[in-house]
Every structure is written in structure tokens, then in C-alpha cells.
Chain A
């Protein structure tokens, strides 16, 4: 029997992985009175951010999902925050692109790697006591050491596989059919902390998670096992460069307490807290680099 499939009969697919996009502007500041306005655009593999900095201070940002076209993602991210505060591209003095799509930001004056930008951004967000930065990005993971000025002294990046990245968490979110923002809190709602699933491959982890569900694990327990695997994965990267006091986490996973608390437990160090969205660290650092360059130019003139 062939039932006719219509738009009405096809159930709408819920996107459990979809995280909250965010636009914010500091209403207490007036960009029209600023001397130097700079912008950082971080075109990542999963998310894109545009950050506006006025006179060296964070003014506004837009964080949204990266589309299938880097230039469009950069333009849309910037347009979102400019619309919010009534700014035009001509009002911005300097634009720095960063992230994997940094060379495809059409209006950028300079491109700087996300490693340097995350260190600079974390230095602003966490203060000059930040020494070790863990950036858990959409499809890569970076461990960075920096000095009191936010200059990188040691780094490593793993972008070969999705283990320990935001994309891995999105996969588990879809598999469990639980909104991604709920994964962290739910991972603590277990009677006994389970062993970690595979920490070296998202595909293996997904297979293991399915096996655990069939074996009678609750969804929360499977999520806990995955959060633990993710924590173990990134800690193994961190241990390669060493962890110093002044530990700061950036990227989307910094919003997942299920992973953050487990990382803290393994390392025996508490991560520094910030009121600023952890996802904008790269773009913020890029904008601050732009501010430094413009300040030097102005001083030389």
C-alpha cells in the first residue's frame, strides 16, 4: 500500500542540536562618540561571530550559525549587530577576520589566526591572570598558553577529528533527541557516574551510546558518559602543554556544565568565570587586535 506523502503527513524534524543565537549591544555606551571602532569577525566551522569594540571596550556582538558560504556568514553576522545599534560598515575603522574562514571575510583588512585571537579575547574576558586557555570549537579543539598580555606562548590544535568538539555534542544531542542546552544539566541527573564512552572518535562514541541505550542505560546516563569522554579527550590535549592556574574555557562547550565540571574535576582546577559569552572570544580578540593596530597608527600619525 502506497500512502501519499504530503507536507502535512511528514512530521517536522526537530533540530535538537540547534543552539541559541545571540545579538547583544551595550546600551550604556554610545558608539557615535567613539574615536576608534573596530570589528572582529570569527567565521568558524559551526558558528560565526561579529564583535564590535569601541575605544578598546566590548560594545556589541552577534553570534549565529555559519551557513554554507563563509563571506555570507561574515556579512550576516556583522549586519545583525550593526542593525541592532544603527551602525554602518563605513563607521567601522578596521576589521580583522579570524577562524577557519578568515581569508573569506570580504571586508576584512587583516586576517589573524584564531589561536592568537582566542588568547587575546580570553585575556580581555578573564583578565591578565589567564594563562591556560581551552577553546572547544565547533570542529576543533585548541589548548593555548599565554602571557599576561594575552600573547601566545604555547599552543596545540586538534582539528583532525570531531571528538572533543561542539559538533560531537550536537551529534549526541540529536541522537538523544534532547535540546543541546539541556545536555549539561541532565548529565548530573544520574545515580552513579558511568564510565566514559570512546574519547577518540565521535562515530565510535555514537555507536557506543546506542549500545548503552539498548543495554538499559537512561538517556541521562548516556549523556553523562559522553560528557565524561569529552572531558577526558580535551584534558589529554591540555596535558600535552601543561595546565597552569588561570584556566579559562572558550567556545560553545564552555556553556555546557556537564563537560566543564568534569574537566575541572579531572584537572583539579576551577575554570575562571566570565559574564561575556564564551563563544565570542575569537572575534573579540580579533577586534582587540584591530584596536591595537589602529591605536599604533593613530600614535604614529
Chain B
């Protein structure tokens, strides 16, 4: 399942996509949890009883601000969450 967390507003599209099929059997030992400077990710049991990562609810509405620090202007060459997620489950819309 591809789970898209975020929103679209007048300023643009801000979505973090998590491929739960790749996330279930995480070979990166849930590195996303610590890689995100804002600690936006957490592990939940989804509706189909799989343990997967999701973006915490309050962050889903503030992604454009929360993720701003990890953009190239913040000194990062790649997004920390995507880099840490070696199975490639995490993608961003920007």
C-alpha cells in the first residue's frame, strides 16, 4: 500500500509517501525514526494489522514547514529520511 501523508494548498503540494509493502519488513531497523530531525515518523499497527511507519498526525498538516530544514538550503544534499530508508519506502513530493 502506498500511503500519502500531507496536503495540497495554495503554496504547493507537500506529501510524504510510504510504501508499506517495503516498510513492513524493514531492513534498515526503522532508521527513519531517528533520521528525521523533527521525529515525525512513528511505528503503528495499520488497519491490516501490519506494523509500519507513518507520519504523525499533527505533522501531516505542517510538512512545508517541518521539512524545510532538510532541504538543500538547510545544508542537506539529500533528505535524511529518504537516505536512512534503505529499502526505499519513503518518497517526497518535492
Chain A: residues with CB nearer than 8 A to chain B?
Answer: 112-113, 115-116, 151-161, 200-201, 236-237, 240-241
Within 8 A of A (CB), among B16-64: 47-48, 60-61
Which secondary structure dominates where chain A touches chain B?
mixed
Q: B2 contacts which of A155, A160, A161 (Cβ < 8 Å)?
A: A155
Indicate if B68 sits at the interface (CB-CB under 8 A). no
A236 x B8 contact (CB < 8 A): yes
For the complex formed, measure the closest distance between the CB of A292 and the CB atoms of chain B, giving whole angstroms: 11
Which secondary structure dominates where chain B touches chain A?
strand
Nearest to B63 among chain A residues (CB) is A160
For the complex formed, measure the closest distance between the CB of A153 and the CB atoms of chain B, giving whole angstroms: 6
A115 x B47 contact (CB < 8 A): yes
Docked complex Cα distance between A115 and B7 (Å): 16
Q: B9 contacts which of A151, A153, A160 (Cβ < 8 Å)?
A: A160
Q: B47 contacts which of A116, A154, A157, A240 (Cβ < 8 Å)?
A: A116
Docked complex Cα distance between A153 and B61 (Å): 22
B2 x A241 contact (CB < 8 A): yes
Q: A159 contacts which of B47, B48, B61 (Cβ < 8 Å)?
A: B61
Q: A161 contacts which of B3, B7, B60 (Cβ < 8 Å)?
A: B7
Q: Which 5 A-B pairs have the closest CB atoms?
A: A156-B4, A116-B47, A160-B7, A154-B2, A200-B10
For the complex formed, measure the closest distance between the CB of A45 and the CB atoms of chain B, giving whole angstroms: 14
Docked complex Cα distance between A158 and B6 (Å): 7
Point out the residues of chain A lying under 8 angstroms from B1, CB to CB: 151-155
Point out the residues of chain A lying under 8 angstroms from B3, CB to CB: 154-155
For the complex formed, measure the closest distance between the CB of B63 and the CB atoms of chain A, giving whole angstroms: 10
Point out the residues of chain B lying under 8 angstroms from A153, CB to CB: 1-2
Point out the residues of chain A lying under 8 angstroms from B13, CB to CB: 240
For the complex formed, measure the closest distance between the CB of B50 and the CB atoms of chain A, giving whole angstroms: 11
Point out the residues of chain B lying under 8 angstroms from A154, CB to CB: 1-4
For the complex formed, measure the closest distance between the CB of A111 and the CB atoms of chain B, giving whole angstroms: 10
